[in-house]
Amino acid sequence: MHSKWAKKAGIDKIIADFVNRNIDYGTSWAFTKNENDFPVEEFESTKTKQLNFFYQKDLEKENGHKSYVKAYYLHHLLDYFRETRINIYEIKTVFDQFLKEKIETEIINAEGNKVNFLEEIHQIFDVLRKNKEELYSDLKGGYFTN
């Protein structure tokens, strides 16, 4: 994740860096079970486990901002822009495909309730959409490739 985009999305740099490192280098350490931990389902994908983990981190902060979850989606969305074969200048199409094929939009929390993150995803989409010329410039230049 790049601090510049995290800042534009209102995500603290420390949180953004934490999420980025854990997605890029692994969060298996976060899924170890002990009797006080959030239950981890064996059949869940790594992305779902990560999303649950970051959601739990947001609950610990109790500020309602969901910075860890937003950083999670921002990281994956920026990666998707770099990896997709879709014309990135059709930003709405990129967003639609991202939702369909790249990420989960909801989880089941410890109480068995669905928690939907579409609001946070759309907030991230809006940041990139409002700054799309800068995003395109970054994608073409050395910002992402260095």
The pTM of this model reads 0.83
| Contact predicate 81/131, CB 8 Å | no
Q: What is the pLDDT of residues 106-121, one digit of tens each?
A: 998 888 899 999 999 9
Q: What is the pLDDT of residues 72-114, one digit of tens each?
A: 999 999 999 988 889 999 999 999 999 999 989 999 888 889 9
The range of the structural domain enclosing residue 59 comes to 3-145
H or E element that contains 115: strand 114-116
Q: How far is 87 from 94, CA to CA, in rounded Å?
A: 8
- The domain tally of the chain equals 1
